[in-house]
């Protein structure tokens, strides 16, 4: 158990719909990162939030957006879902940014299926 | 495009043998290197991190880093069937916590 939780566990949506995934970080962790992991691939960095502001973004279109709240929770929103968005979505929290020994604590993930 | 590559799998080793997992990265500015283990259907769990050249040992696991060659490896001694999983190499910039993962290497330890 990493102390990071995600909801829901599984989700099925249809193409064109919108989805919100939620993550609750470890208490005191002010940095959260979101990843997309397609089947058989490594996780791909979507973006990172630090103290409620976006702190870096991977190669994902603007329809992927996020929020981070003061209570160490965060959201990943995806608009206009496409079939290729089907993946495991992982959030990971870290105690603080910029430390080279920063360990990321991963949540269990949300499995999104887009039909 | 910053990339992390890993030796293609699947890798099969007999129980008790040494498993060797390799990783190369393209960004010379990378500062920290991580090995994660991921069981099927589960999220990654950290095995080791390393940021200085040389070897770092933790139990049956040894991470090796060579920044000049942009190479990092993980050795698993006395491999057990429970080590069967996908192993992910990850590289992090220090300026912020963007972590780039490799595609993973699937390891099977045969009893």
In degrees and rounded to multiples of 5, residue B82 shows phi and psi of -70, -10
Of B37, B19, B92, the C-alpha closest to A98 is B92
Asked if the C-beta of A26 comes within 8 angstroms of chain B's C-beta atoms, the answer is no
Contacts of B98 in chain A (CB under 8 A): 33, 45, 48, 56, 58
Task: Give the Cα separation of A92 and B43 in Å (integer).
Answer: 10
One pLDDT digit (tens) per residue for chain B, 111 residues: 678 999 878 999 999 999 999 999 998 888 889 999 999 989 999 999 998 999 999 999 999 999 999 999 999 999 999 999 999 999 987 666 678 999 999 999 999
**Residue A26 has what pLDDT?**
80
In tens, the pLDDT along A73-106 reads 999 999 999 999 999 999 998 876 666 667 788 9
Asked if the C-beta of B102 comes within 8 angstroms of chain A's C-beta atoms, the answer is yes
Chain A 30-59, CB below 8 Å of chain B: which residues? Answer: 31, 33, 35, 40-45, 48, 50, 55-56, 58
In tens, the pLDDT along A41-73 reads 999 999 999 889 998 888 999 999 999 998 889
Q: Are A44 and A25 in contact (CB under 8 A)?
A: no
- Dig out the tokens for B41 from the structure: 């259907």
Q: Are B20 and B71 in contact (CB under 8 A)?
A: no
Asked if the bond preceding A8 is cis, omega within 30° of 0, the reply is yes
Pick A98's closest partner by Cβ from B49, B95, B102: B95
């Amino acid at each position: 158990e990493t102390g990071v939780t995600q909801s829901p566990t599984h989700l099925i949506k249809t193409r064109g719909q919108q989805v919100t995934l939620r993550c609750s970080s470890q208490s005191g962790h002010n940095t959260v990162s979101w990843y997309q992991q397609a089947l058989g691939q490594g996780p791909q960095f979507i973006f990172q939030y630090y103290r409620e502001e976006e702190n870096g973004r991977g190669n994902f279109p603007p329809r992927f957006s996020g929020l981070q709240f003061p209570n160490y929770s965060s959201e990943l929103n995806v608009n206009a879902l496409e079939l290729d968005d089907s993946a495991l979505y992982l959030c990971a929290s870290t105690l603080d940014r910029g430390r080279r020994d920063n360990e990321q604590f991963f949540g269990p993930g949300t499995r999104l299926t887009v039909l | 495009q910053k990339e992390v590559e890993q030796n293609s799998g699947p890798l099969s080793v007999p129980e008790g043998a040494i498993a060797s997992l390799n990783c190369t990265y393209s960004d010379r500015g990378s500062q920290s290197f991580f090995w994660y283990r991921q069981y099927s259907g589960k999220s990654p769990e950290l095995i080791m991190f390393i940021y200085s050249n040389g070897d770092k040992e933790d139990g049956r696991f040894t991470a090796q880093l060579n920044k000049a060659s942009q190479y990092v490896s993980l050795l698993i001694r006395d491999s057990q069937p429970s080590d069967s999983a996908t192993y992910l190499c990850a590289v992090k910039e220090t300026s912020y916590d963007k972590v780039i993962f490799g595609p993973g290497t699937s390891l099977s330890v045969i009893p």
